[in-house]
């Protein structure tokens, strides 16, 4: 699957995929996704309640967006 051609350390290789990389969500898309979160839902795999994300404010949302 990986085209390593004699390289012993896979971290040094460039990984090529058949699919183009998609850009991350824009700040606007990210804000719209946060706005659409529903309160009082079961926690997902990240164990972060939507209430916490919604209450975080713009600075918190901006920092989370940088991670995406």
Q: 45 vs 13, 28, 33, 48, 64, CA distance in Å?
A: 31, 24, 17, 8, 17
pLDDT tens string, the chain, 68 residues long: the values are: 555 555 555 565 666 777 777 888 898 999 999 999 888 888 888 888 889 989 999 899 999 888 87
Please check whether residue 54 is in contact with residue 34, taking contact to mean a CB–CB distance below 8 angstroms.
yes
Rounded CA separation 54/8 (Å): 46
Question: What are the helix (H) ranges across the chain?
Answer: 27-35, 50-55, 57-67
């Amino acid at each position: 699957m990986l085209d390593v051609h004699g390289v012993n350390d896979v971290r040094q290789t460039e990984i090529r995929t058949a699919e183009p990389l998609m850009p991350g969500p824009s700040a606007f898309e990210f804000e719209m996704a946060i706005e659409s979160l529903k309160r009082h839902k079961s926690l997902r795999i990240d164990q972060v309640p939507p209430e916490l994300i919604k209450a975080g404010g713009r600075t918190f949302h901006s920092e989370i967006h940088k991670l995406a």
